[in-house]
Structure 1
Amino acid sequence: MAKVLVTGATGFLGRQLIPACQSRGYTVCSVQRQETAASDTIVMDIAEDSNWQPHLDNVDVIIHCAGRAHVMNESAVDPLVEYRKVNTAGTLQLAWQAAAAGVKRFIFISSIKVNGEATKPKQPFTTKVEQPPEDPYGLSKYEAEQGLRELAEQTGMEVVIIRPPLVYGPGVKANFASLIKLAAKGLPLPLGAIHNLRSLVFVGNLVDLIIHCVSNPKAANQTFLVSDDDDLSTTQLLKGLATAMGKPSRLLPVPASWLMGLTKIIGKPAIGERLCGNLQLDISHTKACLGWTPPYRVAEGLKLTVTNASQQK
């Protein structure tokens, strides 16, 4: 069986991905930033000067999950510079050394932000990128994708690019964790008349797709979008969370236009866009190319997510 190196081992995705790889019989080397006593763990930073050569012997596939994560309240003076150091230069440093070491396939976990921040009604994102993204995080991932494609052409190492939207699941944090807390309180919320559509992906579905891409020959040099294939409105998502927790859903039918207007007045238009805007992915290419369908339905994913959240209290 293949030897797989996984970066970002202690991250939200890595913690789910590594045992899934091991359960398939793969030999896994995990990369993280903190020291550990485990013999199969590599301690490395993702940087433009990192030396990966001592760790690449007999590695067949690299799954590159690590990166500088997107944050809402960025504190860096020049965010693009900081994102590029890790997400672009750090990624390409690893990839070039991997190619030189004879690694057969490099799977890059990118982001749907490469496509943009929102979609128009009935015009979901596809793998085609109309123009480079303006968001610094998205641009750093876009530039990494471009560099990886050039590398694949020059070296013959197979590159697989996966662009997920918001990933949720057991242990999720940030905005999704805040939604879970809101739904758990059962308080009246002015979010009962939002008719947008947003694609999400349960971490179990993303992990399953990544596992498919480790060995499927059809994945070579392809770009895949991934989702649960069941887009939800903000209203539907909150109702689904409440149902999963056995809580009442008290959502007041306040028009989305009012919410958008209010968030602009208070200087938080991005919040309004996330609550009321569309962000849809067309995963038909992923399903057709790989013969893949998401193994978990939305209701299952939400149940597993909130069950874990309640156990962590």
Structure 2
Amino acid sequence: MKRILITGANSYVGTSFENYMKKWSDEYQIDTVDMIGDSWKDRDFSYYDVVFHVAGIAHSDAGKISKEKEKLYYRVNTDLTIETARKAKKEGVKQFIFMSSAIVYGNSAPIGKKKCIKRDTPVSPANCYGDSKVRAESGLRKLEDDDFKVVILRPPMIYGKGSKGNYPLMSKLAQKMPVFPYVKNYRSMLYVENLAEFVRLMIKNEEHGTFWPQNREYSNTSVMVKMIGEVHGRKVRLVKGFEWSLKLLGLFTSLVDKAFGNLYYDRSISQYKENYMVYTLRESIIRTEGRHE
């Protein structure tokens, strides 16, 4: 039996992973520790084979942020990550899995421009959130050796039942709007249960290195809204001709490119020797919207 410690209580990814792994309860023991405050420092990590580090501050700020908030990003996303890894290594943990993000490559390309990430695409963080993740990755790589394997995950937008961010907004729009603008865009996304399966395989195969998991299919924002509507028995008509007005609006708010811009991983960098893409895009939407047993 492998023993896994999730560092970061009540996180969306951590909780989802814990629930997903219940079907293998005879093979894996999973515990969680709260990383707020200093009490986690007294936890004995030597009992565990794997630390899955999900503690962090997600980027939810539009525009400029205060110096204090900027310091918090680095304190939590960078310093806390490296400090946790050092403790794990010192106490004999064999594998450390870190949730980084596609944000290390910067913002989405605006409407009409493509942004395809390949294995050799250099990191280019656009803000302190992305930079805090890049610095954490760098610090972790320095700790890796034959006895301490580091896995860095750079997932694109994660969604699923109970998720935050853009997906819940798309779901609300799909259930209310009879029409929605059609914009041709490509986005890599990752359903949370596909992510959970990927993490399980990382642990099972005792992997190390940097990985870019994503769904089997690319997503299109407009088509996804239409698909969510269909799951709820609603017909959403997609209307062309809105691209120029959205481009104009994008000059004043970053939310437009966040929703309709382009950012996707080349499929080749997301392939793995075992299948982790358990659910298709449509199946994931059905499960996310709660229409499954």
SS in 2 for 1:19: helix
Unaligned runs of 5+ in 2: none
Does residue 173 of structure 1 match 2:174? no
- Give the 4+ runs in structure 1 shifted more than 6 A: none
CA change 1:130–1:50 in 2 (3 A) is farther
- Select 1:135's aligned residue among 127, 130, 140: 127
Does structure 1 conserve the Cα–Cα contact (< 8 Å) formed by 2:195 and 2:276? no
2:70 matched to which residue of 1? 80
Alignment TM-score, normalising by the size of structure 1 = 0.84
CA change 1:114–1:211 in 2 (3 A) is same
Does residue 274 of structure 1 match 2:258? yes
Does structure 1 conserve the Cα–Cα contact (< 8 Å) formed by 2:56 and 2:76? yes
In the alignment, residue 118 of structure 2 is paired with which amino acid? T
In the alignment, residue 104 of structure 2 is paired with which amino acid? V
Unaligned runs of 5+ in 1: 33-43
In the alignment, residue 20 of structure 2 is paired with which amino acid? A
Give the Cα–Cα distance (whole angstroms) in 2 for the partners of residues 54 and 278 of structure 1. Answer: 42
Q: CA deviation at 1:85?
A: 0.3
Does structure 2 conserve the Cα–Cα contact (< 8 Å) formed by 1:127 and 1:223? no
In the alignment, residue 28 of structure 2 is paired with which amino acid? Y
Cα deviation code 1:151-210 (max 9, x no counterpart): 104x74100011111111111223211111110013333x12x11101111111011101
Does residue 28 of structure 1 match 2:15? no
CA change 1:20–1:306 in 2 (3 A) is closer
Cα deviation code 1:121-170 (max 9, x no counterpart): 665213434244122111101100011001104x7410001111111111
Does residue 14 of structure 1 match 2:5? no
Q: Following superposition of structure 1 onto structure 2, how do residues 1-313 of structure 1 map, counting pairs within 5 Å?
A: 1-24=1-24, 25-32=27-34, 44-45=35-36, 52-73=41-62, 76-78=65-67, 79-118=69-108, 124-153=116-145, 156-189=147-180, 191-192=181-182, 194-217=183-206, 219-220=207-208, 222-264=209-251, 267-268=252-253, 270-288=254-272, 290-307=273-290
Give the Cα–Cα distance (whole angstroms) in 1 for the partners of residues 33 and 260 of structure 2. Answer: 38
With CA pairs under 8 Å and 6+ residues apart, which has the higher RCO, 1 or 2?
Answer: 2
Give the Cα–Cα distance (whole angstroms) in 2 for the partners of residues 51 and 11 of structure 1. Answer: 16
Give the Cα–Cα distance (whole angstroms) in 2 for the partners of residues 224 and 150 of structure 1. Answer: 17
After the TM superposition, which of the residue ranges 126-135 and 196-205 deviates more from structure 2? 126-135
In the alignment, residue 198 of structure 1 is paired with which amino acid? R
CA change 1:175–1:131 in 2 (3 A) is closer
CA change 1:50–1:130 in 2 (3 A) is farther
Alignment TM-score, normalising by the size of structure 2 = 0.90
SS in 1 for 2:211: strand
Q: CA deviation at 1:303?
A: 0.9
Give the Cα–Cα distance (whole angstroms) in 2 for the partners of residues 274 and 184 of structure 1. Answer: 21
Give RMSD over aligned pairs. 2.4
